Amino acid sequence: MNVVYRKAIPEDTPACLDLRGKTRENAFSVEELKAIGITLESWQSAIADESLPGYVGLVDGELAGYCFGDRETGEIAVLALLPACEGKGIGKALLSLMVEEFKALGFKRLFLGCSSDPKVRSHGFYRRLGWKPTGEIDAAGDEVLEYRPSQERTVDSFIPPAPGGPLQSEFEALVHDVRATLVSEVGPLLDGIYLYGSVARGTAEAGSSDLDLTLVFRDPLTAQDSATVEAVRKALEARHSEVVKIDFDIGSLAEALAPKNLYSWGYWLKHHCRCIWGNDLAPHFERFKPSRDIALAVNGDFGVVLRSYAERIDQANDSIELQRLQKEASRKLIRATNILRADEDSTWPQTLEDHAWQLLQRHPSVKPQIDFFLSHARSPTASGEAFGHRLRAFVDWMEKENATR
């Protein structure tokens, strides 16, 4: 059985309407849907204008199920699956993809309506995936459930996909200028331009977030080329106050595709980056499952990087620079704790809070330190000396723990 998941398009609507009448429970015919205001035209229009984004699952090229959500409210509007495709993880995958999209758009509350009858299949299905009763009843008489997972879930045991969906309007001009300027100034050298981080996820805050980009060049840059790229970065940063700074992560095509870099570059491009220009390398890689090998490939350099931050914090001359460095160091440290994950862990942390939760399941004694760094990842208040002391001490502890693995 070959299962493919993708974003829904208006042309999927006829098959979606047909499938809705074939579900095992809570089936609706085309006529019944029309009676409550859902028609072929209205559904197609909602997909087209992205007010009802969704995902479809195709088994051997045929529609097996779908999940759609209300982009205005964060409600999971419908999850439907053919009876023959139940119990194969397809419904779980579709729901997880929709959850990831809404989280990337910045929703803090995701909810859905579900039967309160324990005999109904959906009753246990949603609860096992982290959906909790709110005590509310919706207009259809269903119980309202909210998504409250104890930790980040995976999609069919795979790491969640890279962010998608439209960019926040306040950053559209910035991204357009960055793309156009890079193509104009160094286009012949470039293979692809990728967004990652809060702007890519749709969770950035104007005036306080960074713009993070991965640039893949056709060949390794010469010293002169590197200087040109850095000059472009500084010029862009100087003319865009929407972000605190602009970062370029740079690599070559050969480096990105090298087998030895599968767990670093391959994972990064597949699960964190969205291509905004050029050759998208993500399709070159299969989806990755959670593993400590990936954590080590991405953050195995934590000791060197974090000690470098400590030195720069010691030398910071003004409060703005000090706060920026403390935020960056705190975030790097918290994410780097993923290297201490258990080999058998099947979940994959996405947010800083997910990383903290995962670490504390195995090392509850470091909660005071983790709480400190979580706080400083958002709003730094410590002196440079106090922060540097805590940072070095925690890095020492992490290195000792990692050495015992």
What pLDDT does 138 receive? 86
**Integer CA distances (angstroms), 384 to 224, 306, 309, 324, 326, in order:** 36, 14, 11, 11, 8
pTM confidence score: 0.62
Q: How many residues does the chain have?
A: 405
Q: In whole angstroms, what is the distance from residue 224 CA to residue 324 CA?
A: 29
Q: Where are the alpha helices (DSSP H) in 49-111?
A: 90-104
What pLDDT does 136 receive? 86
CB atoms within 10 A of CB 137: 12
Q: Which tokens go with 333?
A: 């440290």
CA 301 to chain centre: 22
Residue 52 near residue 68, CB atoms below 8 Å: yes
* Phi (first) and psi of residue 337, to 5 degrees: -65, -15
- Which residues in the chain land under pLDDT 70? 1, 149-156
Q: Which tokens go with 267?
A: 């994972």
**Integer CA distances (angstroms), 115 to 84, 120, 203, 236, in order:** 22, 7, 32, 52
Residue 334 near residue 295, CB atoms below 8 Å: no
Q: Helix or strand or coil: residue 249?
A: strand
